[in-house]
Amino acid sequence: MEYKVTLLPGDGIGPEVVAAGAEVLRAVGEKFGHKFEMSEALVGGIAIDETGNPLPEETLEMCRSGDAVLLGAVGGPKWSDPLAPVRPEQGLLGLRKGLGLFANIRPVKLFPALADASPLKPEIVQGVDLVIVRELTGGIYFGKPQEKQVTPDGKREALDTMRYNEDEVARLLHVAYQIARQRRRKVTSVDKANVLASSRLWREVAHEVAAQYPDVESEDVLVDACAMYLMRRPAGFDVIAAGNLFGDILSDEASMLAGSMGMLPSASLGEKPADGGTWFGMYEPVHGSAPDIAGKGIANPLATILSVAMMLRTSFGLAEEADAVERAVEQVLVDGYRTPDIMSEGMKQVGTAEMTGAVVKRI
């Protein structure tokens, strides 16, 4: 089979980690006899610099014509002036919306070899294996109005709108339940129903969807309590379903359970095709552009490499190939290779290229 993958390196360490992901894809292609045709396009700050637009139409077109997207990261201090007319993040939000990627899947799994890399006590993080399913194209990130204005008495004010309709909530929860059925069969739906109307609708719909999955255990947890439980008993979670804002915040928090953000992959998916064909998705590391270490060759490529594994399994149905990539990552960790973000005493410190090479050798 031939698969078309669009590479969007973006900003900061994005180009370094996407190059690593592309190298792994090539290695998988050679080993298993697939062809991954890769082409590159602009998004984020670099797209602003070169075209004035964080998401050029050409980029969206290229993504649409392919089978999957591998994205690095967007943003950086160069483009973060709050008064700037365009921002790199608009490129990422535009991609999600423009490609209909409403479900963001963020697995958080502790590799046993990294148990000491987490800032939390080993007995707390032991056995952590959860998935955050975050709604990605609605809620307060997209609700209108969103604006800054001056009131009649001359004060500046700004507002955002948190809006969800029942279909947006239901389709996200169905994804969460389907994932739970392939795991430990538990879904935690997160909201702030004690305060927000949009959360009360979320909970109402969550219960309707839950009733369709009697084989899966369901619970509701308020977002503030969820933040606390993630620190107190993280191993008790299986699938966490949350709206756009809550999922964004909880997934950064949860990343610390795995030792480093440099380890966490993600998939952003749209509707699953009924015919079992390619399931279009965008795959990206959770860590962001890390401008402080960009260009130094020390970024951890493993989150991107694990994102490639998710792409192989989810979009292309290549489970054996995905397993091979994940096993190779596990093995480099067991063999002691560490980028600086996960370095600990007695281990071999390496940079991006050496880490990638070590993974490729083990595929």
Reduce the DSSP state of residue 68 to 3 states and report it: strand
What is the residue whose two structure tokens read 């947006």?
168
- Residue listed under structure tokens 């637009």: 53
Instruction: List the structure tokens of 35.
Output: 């062809």
**Among this protein's residues, is 141 annotated catalytic?**
yes
Residue with smaller CB distance to Mg ion, 36 or 283:
283
In the complex, least distance from residue 107 CB atom to ligand IPM, rounded to whole angstroms: 14
Closest to Mg ion by CB, 59 or 251: 251
Decide if 164 is catalytic: no
Beginning with the edge strand found earlier in the chain, give each strand of the sheet holding 35-40 in spatial order: 35-40, 2-10, 68-73, 281-283, 267-269, 103-109, 129-135, 239-242, 186-191, 217-222
**Which residue's Cβ has the minimum distance to ligand IPM?**
89
Cβ-contact 297, 351 below 8 angstroms: yes
Catalytic residue among 49, 167, 224, 323: 224
Amino acid at 61: E
Minimum CB–partner distance for residue 151 and ligand IPM (Å): 28
Please say if 167 is a catalytic residue: no
If the CB atoms of residues 25 and 95 are measured against ligand IPM, the closer one turns out to be: 95
**Pick 310 or 350: Cβ nearer ligand IPM:** 310
Q: Report the residue from 220, 238, 248, 341 that binds Mg ion according to the rule CB under 5 A.
A: 248
CB of 286 to Mg ion, least distance (A): 7
In the chain, what's the furthest Cα-to-Cα distance? Answer: 68
Q: Which does 89 bind (CB under 5 to 8 A by kind): ligand IPM, Mg ion, none?
A: ligand IPM
CA-to-CA distance for 165 and 236, rounded, in angstroms?
Answer: 30
Q: Of 67, 164, 177, 192, which residue is the catalytic one?
A: 192
Nearer to ligand IPM by Cβ, of 75 and 243: the residue is: 75
Instruction: Decide which of Mg ion, ligand IPM, none touches 354; Cβ closer than 5 to 8 Å per partner kind.
Output: none
Provide, rounded to whole angstroms, the least separation between the CB of residue 90 and ligand IPM: 9
Number of C-beta neighbours around residue 160 at 10 A:
15
β-pair partners for 5: 38, 68
Question: Are β-strands 103-109 and 129-135 bridged in parallel, bridged antiparallel, or unpaired?
Answer: antiparallel
103 bridge partner residues = 135, 269
Whether residue 252 lies in the annotated active site: yes
Interaction of residue 284 with Mg ion, rule CB under 5 A: no
Among this protein's residues, is 109 annotated catalytic? no
Closest residue to Mg ion using C-beta atoms: 248
- The conformation of residue 345, written as its DSSP 8-state character, comes to T
* Contact set with ligand IPM (CB under 6 A): 75, 89, 92, 248
Residue 95 · residue 47 · CB < 8 Å = no
Residue 75 touches which of Mg ion, ligand IPM, none (Cβ within 5-8 Å per kind): ligand IPM
Residues noted as catalytic: 141, 192, 224, 248, 252
Contact set with Mg ion (CB under 5 A): 248
